[in-house]
Amino acid sequence: MRTGADELSYEIRGIVKKADQLKALGKNITWENIGDPVQKGATLPSWIKNIISDLVQQDDSYSYCHSKGELKTREFLADRNNKLGGVQIDAEDILFFNGLGDAIGKIYQYLVPPARIIGPSPAYSTHSSSEAAHANDHPITYKLDPQNNWYPDMDDLYLKVKHNPNVVGILIINPDNPTGMVYPKSILDRFVEIAREFDLFLISDEIYINITYNGTQAFSLPQYIGDVPGIAMKGLSKELPWPGSRCGWTKFYNREKDAEFDALCTTLENSKMIEVCSTKLPQISIPEIMGDSRYEDYLEQNNRTIGKRSEIISDILGSAPGIYFNQTSGAFYNTIVFKEEVLKEGQTLAIDDPKVKILVEEWTEGSEVPLDKRFVYYLMAAKGICVVPISSFCSDLRGFRVTLLENDLDTLRKTFTTIKESIIEYLNS
């Protein structure tokens, strides 16, 4: 097996195998692991469903489309980009994929070895795993700081770029998964400065760009990148939300400024050509849905809902002992980190069912199990709440990721109160 293949793990789904074993023993599971709003009960408004069902009736919807993606949609998205007033693009700068996961996989796959992309830690693992698999090595990361609003440690980034000549690009995830942080403009400008100094390109994963709340706005790559080459990534999975559409796209900026960057973009286009094209139906729905006057209201309403959940979680967990807690301002995840030294071998939560107790003791046996995974297993076994350990997000920190997707506010309050009580019980055990 290729060495890098070891890096291809996805704990967000991996943890489900453990939860399924508990389910088989009769435990009810509250799913806080995966960022699928639909799985958590979100529904599309009927006007959006009507647009999609009208398209389903049209014969043309069933054909292949242009290998870069439907032209009308690319023109629509280029126009929206240009209205932001930053770097201007046209339809030819946009390339569609089968979900953003497909775009992420291809970008790293087609980077010329030994080129590396440095990305955030904790990391959304599709990026870090794909990058590491390409490099046959561990991911190269810069730190996000839980003691400073989860903002990136820009000195750490600078030094790592400076001392690693293989780094050709920097990944920004904004708003961020798994921390729910949104980067202020001053930090984004610093990314650009570093890229310019070391002749790098930027990748901005902006799948959550329109999911911000409680007064925060996120800046999109063309609004700050200037003349540096870069790729912005976007998709339908989160905002609409329509994750099963498998529809995402990239926007290329300043291709003409760097021949090697331009070659990477051309390779990505060619790779789509040999596949023929990406999913057409979601693509053709984009101008109709996002161009509809009701769309902005729909987003605002969604953001108000998530913003309210963010406040509720903050009210509950903000005062929990032994953790670093940051209230989120974008996306729909939060990462809770345990303070140094508070996690120890041997800590537990009370479990009534002896079969469940034996199972979790098997899972946590031995010192290779990271201490946050241990807590996560106990939380799931004792309380039926399934979260993801942060050590699985390419991080040395110890904590866990939750989602802000619970629709029912009473259930949300109950889940997070249980998490708070469990933290206290576990740390005092």
Ligand X SMILES: Cc1ncc(COP(=O)(O)O)c(C=O)c1O
* Binding site residues, ligand X, CB under 6 A: 35, 99-101, 124, 126, 173, 177, 205, 207, 235, 237, 243, 248
Q: In the block, which residue shows the tokens 């053709």? A: 284
Complex with ligand X: residue 18 or 234, whichever CB lies closer: 234
Torsions phi, psi of 388, nearest 5?
-115, 130
Give the integer Cα–Cα distance in Å for 20 and 28: 10
Q: How far is the CB of 235 from ligand X (least distance, A)?
A: 4
Quote the tokens at residue 192: 């650009």
Complex with ligand X: residue 100 or 412, whichever CB lies closer: 100
Give the integer Cα–Cα distance in Å for 127 and 139: 9
Residues in Cβ contact with 173 at an 8 Å cutoff, skipping those fewer than 6 apart:
119, 120, 124, 127, 204, 205
Complex with ligand X: residue 100 or 182, whichever CB lies closer: 100
Complex with ligand X: residue 70 or 205, whichever CB lies closer: 205
DSSP 8-state assignment for residue 118: E
Complex with ligand X: residue 246 or 309, whichever CB lies closer: 246
**Inter-axis angle of helices 11-24 and 354-363, to 10 degrees?**
150
Please tell me whether residue 316 adopts helix, strand or coil conformation: helix
Q: How many CB atoms lie within 10 A of CB 3?
A: 11
Complex with ligand X: residue 237 or 326, whichever CB lies closer: 237
Q: How far is the CB of 98 from ligand X (least distance, A)?
A: 8
Quote the tokens at residue 216: 């925060």
Q: How far is the CB of 205 from ligand X (least distance, A)?
A: 5
Complex with ligand X: residue 22 or 232, whichever CB lies closer: 232
Give, for 335, the enclosing helix (H) or strand (E).
strand 333-338
Q: How far is the CB of 96 from ligand X (least distance, A)?
A: 11
**Radius of gyration of the CA atoms of the chain, in A:** 22
Q: How far is the CB of 140 from ligand X (least distance, A)?
A: 18
Q: How far is the CB of 66 from ligand X (least distance, A)?
A: 20
Q: Estimate to the nearest angstrom the gap between the alpha carbon of 294 and the chain centroid.
A: 26
Q: What letter represents residue 32's amino acid?
A: E
Q: How far is the CB of 164 from ligand X (least distance, A)?
A: 23
